[in-house]
Structure 1
Amino acid sequence: MSVSEQERLSAVVASYGEAYAPFDAKMRDYMMRAFEPHFRDGRCLQVGCAHGDQTSLLLDRFGEVTVVEGAPEFIASTRARVGDRARFVECLIEDYETDERYETILFAHVLEHVEDPVVAIRKLRSLLTPTGRLFLVVPNAEAASRRIAVKMGALSHLEALSPDDVAAGHRRVYRLDTLCRDTLEAGMKIAQTGGIFFKPLANFQLNELMGGPLVSEAFMEGCYQLGFEHPTFCASIYVVAEAG
């Protein structure tokens, strides 16, 4: 890992903090619901664990989970949460070497961080079994909330990096077509695409309002269901890919 990449990663860790974010936690639940019909039983690889919310959910679904994470702080936080139920490897995915192959690989909200997304996807392709599936999930440039931000003048255009994007270490913001482009360029076959959660408000607004009278559980479920009909307005977009 180069010094510059280590410095970027350390800055990202500092920006995440330990604060509980209700909307982020809810989105991880929604991801698992959306992906369940497409999961393959067998070994699971998670790339990037942050504070371990998604790792916990994957361990409830899969018998064997390996976590590749470049930040030792995130590994410590996740290990404190799940113990020895998962196997942890501290490195960037581009540097991960193993003879193991995986039926399911989850690469959720990481592709926007990496230096070369096509190189990263090719690496993941090499780690799949012949029947395995890769789940690529990224924040959506065309989310309804970002469209509103452009109309407000808070963003110059849909693919502009917001201050929060910069603080989180994002290098790019994807649309569904650009996510598909990078997946295909990496030599993968696309089995499924979609969006998760029709997003009318920004994260900070949802965090503030969730659980109250304005954003009820029924409202959240309605936004989740509407996302299947309007993926380009969703909070996150995804590709389910196979080695081909």
Structure 2
Amino acid sequence: MTNPLDQLVAAYDESNPYSFDNEIMLSWYAHRISLLIGVVPKLLELGIGHGIASSTLSKQADSHTIIEGSETIIDRFKKQFPECKSNIIHSYFEDYLPDNDTLFDVIIMGFVLEHVDDPHVILTKYKRYLSPKGKLFIAVPNADVLNRRLGFIMGILDDLKMLSPNDVALGHQRFYNIDSICQEIQRAGLLVTAKEGIYLKPFTSEQMRSLTLNRSVYHALCQVGIDYPDLCCGILIEACADRTT
């Protein structure tokens, strides 16, 4: 039987018109998490996606485990990053069970919740696998990103939460903004402890590329975007389990 996740792989290669944006966002959020956590004993990551973040995050733990539902994506990652020694488990997120009741110091859901059938199920399930002082990092696309707001005001976009053809090709099922992702997290019995933006992009991808900006400009847009999660392409949330519930 064909794995439906394998049918999405083509949207993750370099021919995707948004591959440059993806590279900026994924590199940045992995960099930010690395700075925030240092090196931890056990780190669990949901999904490989483009592989950029997983390659970086594999260096941030004594034991780095990745759950990935597509064998095709796993094979591609191993070819792209042969030096990565992470423990990659082929499983749907809903089916995975840690060995020997293992708890993790950090769990990362990087651009995952917009894909899954039921985000609440995923959040409540993996909350149980956090160590007592464990941290959960969640990154999602932002429906209210500045360039979409401009498109909406200009009449180019009818609805800020409308999925684009590229979103559909990537397997996205929903959009979040800063309020809705925080509500989703809190509804699962988690406490939001920090939130920041990922990449403050003022114009469309095509317009940004046409400017042929120096790489340092994109770094600056990511750095400035930390303080403006409501305007950035992505939202990064740090959370922990609410032990009072």
TM-score, with structure 2 as normaliser: 0.88
Matched, 1:93 2:89: no
SS at match of 1:115: coil
Matched, 1:233 2:235: no
Distance in 2, Cα, partners of 1:127 & 1:19: 37
Structure 2 gaps of 5+ residues are none
Matched with 1:30 is 28
Distance in 1, Cα, partners of 2:167 & 2:79: 27
Matched with 2:60 is 61
Matched with 2:110 is 108
Once the two structures are TM-superposed, the CA of residue 38 in structure 1 deviates from its matched residue by: 3.1
Matched with 1:134 is 136
Distance in 1, Cα, partners of 2:34 & 2:76: 26
**Where do 1:41-52 residues align within 5 Å?**
41-52=40-51
Once the two structures are TM-superposed, the CA of residue 231 in structure 1 deviates from its matched residue by: 1.6
Once the two structures are TM-superposed, the CA of residue 24 in structure 1 deviates from its matched residue by: 1.7
Is the CA contact (8 Å cut-off) linking 2:196 and 2:227 kept in structure 1?
no
Match of 1:187 among 189, 209, 212: 189
The one-letter code matched in structure 1 to 2:11 is: S
Q: What do you get for the CA RMSD once the two structures are aligned?
A: 2.1
SS at match of 1:92: coil
Matched, 1:12 2:11: no
Counting matched residue pairs gives 236
Once the two structures are TM-superposed, the CA of residue 128 in structure 1 deviates from its matched residue by: 1.0
Is the CA contact (8 Å cut-off) linking 1:94 and 1:120 kept in structure 2?
yes
After alignment, is 25-34 or 189-198 more displaced?
25-34
Structure 1 gaps of 5+ residues are none
Once the two structures are TM-superposed, the CA of residue 102 in structure 1 deviates from its matched residue by: 1.0
Q: Percent identity?
A: 30
Distance in 2, Cα, partners of 1:230 & 1:18: 28
Distance in 1, Cα, partners of 2:145 & 2:227: 13
Matched with 1:220 is 218
Distance in 2, Cα, partners of 1:38 & 1:222: 19
Is the CA contact (8 Å cut-off) linking 1:49 and 1:67 kept in structure 2?
yes
- The C-alpha deviation readout for 1:153-181, integer Å capped at 9, x for no partner, is 33211111111111111111000110011
**Where do 1:144-163 residues align within 5 Å?**
144-163=146-165
Alpha-carbon spacing, 1:37–1:50, altered in 2? closer, same or farther (3 Å): closer
Distance in 2, Cα, partners of 1:228 & 1:133: 19
Greater fraction of residues in helix: 1
Distance in 2, Cα, partners of 1:176 & 1:229: 12
- The C-alpha deviation readout for 1:80-109, integer Å capped at 9, x for no partner, is 233460111111111101122111111111
SS at match of 2:196: strand
Once the two structures are TM-superposed, the CA of residue 198 in structure 1 deviates from its matched residue by: 0.9
Alpha-carbon spacing, 1:33–1:173, altered in 2? closer, same or farther (3 Å): same
TM-score, with structure 1 as normaliser: 0.88
Alpha-carbon spacing, 1:76–1:123, altered in 2? closer, same or farther (3 Å): same
Is the CA contact (8 Å cut-off) linking 1:109 and 1:139 kept in structure 2?
yes
Once the two structures are TM-superposed, the CA of residue 72 in structure 1 deviates from its matched residue by: 0.7
Once the two structures are TM-superposed, the CA of residue 28 in structure 1 deviates from its matched residue by: 2.1
Once the two structures are TM-superposed, the CA of residue 149 in structure 1 deviates from its matched residue by: 2.3
Is the CA contact (8 Å cut-off) linking 1:197 and 1:224 kept in structure 2?
yes
